[in-house]
């Protein structure tokens, strides 16, 4: 049987060949990277300039902060999986359009299905609202929500934390809760009585 790594490689190839995807031909595919067996998946919004250039998620300024946050909790970056909702850079880093989010959805869904993480940590409001449409980031960050057997854990976007020290403090505090959240995953799930 195909393992997770092979399934992800196949999915990436499918995406590369899908000419119907918005932003095809305008920007590089930034599929995602990390441990295909990861228990925690981090999902951002869309690639920026550096991500497009290197075809890797979170390698610019926001990515450098993300790297520091992983150091803070002693999680090697390679132990998790990192990707975005929209997998090509929107021009001038504009917000992803609803139709772009929709078009990339089936691939993200498959990517999540393959990895099957326990926790999905969303970075920023676009990613949070993908899973939890009516939630507000200021109220919901750092509070896990169970959805279809996984914990959705909303986090501020690291780029927002780079702009405001108060947000950075919140993001650090929320990050520090991740190891315990993962350790307690089964209990949290059982308490919520969700399969
Ligand atoms: N911001 C995102 O949302 N994703 C990246 O990969 C980089 C910056």
Domain ranges of the chain: 4-81+89-190
Q: What is the pLDDT of residue 139?
A: 97
Give the model confidence (pLDDT) of 50-96 as tens digits.
999 999 999 999 999 999 999 999 999 999 999 999 999 999 999 99
Q: What is the Cα–Cα distance from 192 to 99, expressed in whole angstroms?
A: 33
Going by C-beta distance under 8 Å and a sequence separation of 6 or more, which residues neighbour residue 151?
A: 118, 119, 120, 144, 145, 181, 185, 188, 189
Indicate if ligand 1 lies below 6 Å from the C-beta of 44.
yes
CA distance 107 to 157: 22
Angle between helices 165-176 and 61-72 in degrees, nearest 10: 40
Listed as ranges, residues in the chain with pLDDT below 70 are 1, 190-195
Ligand 1 geometric centre to CA of 148 (Å): 25
**What is the pLDDT, as a whole number, of residue 186?**
83
| DSSP code at position 94 | P
Residue 187 has a pLDDT of 86
With a 6 Å cutoff on the Cβ, whether 51 touches ligand 1 is yes
- The fold of 4-81+89-190 is Uracil-DNA Glycosylase, subunit E (3.40.470)
User: What pLDDT, on a 0 to 100 scale, did the predictor assign at position 12?
Assistant: 98
Phi, psi of 110 (to 5 degrees): -65, -40
CA atoms of 156 and 172, how far apart (whole Å): 10
Interatomic CA distance for residues 97 and 102, integer angstroms:
9
Ligand 1 atom nearest 82 alpha carbon: 6
Give me ligand 1 centre to Cα 87, in Å.
Answer: 9
What ligand 1 atom has the least distance to the C-alpha of 45? 3
Give pLDDT, residue 167: 98
Residue tagged 């780079």 (tokens): 162
């Amino acid at each position: 049987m195909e393992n997770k790594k092979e399934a992800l490689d196949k999915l990436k190839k499918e995406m590369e060949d899908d000419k119907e995807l918005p932003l095809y031909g305008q920007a590089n595919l930034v599929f995602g990277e990390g441990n295909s067996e990861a228990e925690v998946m981090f999902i951002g919004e869309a690639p920026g300039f550096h991500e497009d250039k290197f075809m890797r998620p979170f390698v610019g300024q926001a990515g450098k902060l993300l790297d520091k946050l992983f150091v803070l909790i002693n999680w090697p970056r390679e132990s998790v999986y990192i990707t975005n909702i929209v997998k090509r850079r929107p021009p001038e880093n504009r917000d992803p359009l609803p139709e772009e989010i929709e078009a990339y959805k089936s691939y993200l869904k498959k990517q999540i299905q393959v990895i099957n993480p326990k926790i999905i940590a969303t970075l920023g409001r676009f990613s949070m609202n993908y899973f939890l449409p009516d939630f507000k980031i200021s109220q919901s960050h750092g509070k896990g929500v169970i959805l279809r057997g996984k914990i959705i854990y909303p986090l501020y976007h690291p780029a927002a934390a780079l702009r405001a020290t108060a947000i950075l403090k919140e993001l650090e505090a929320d990050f520090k809760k991740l190891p315990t959240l993962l350790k307690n995953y089964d209990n949290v799930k059982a308490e919520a009585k969700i399969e």
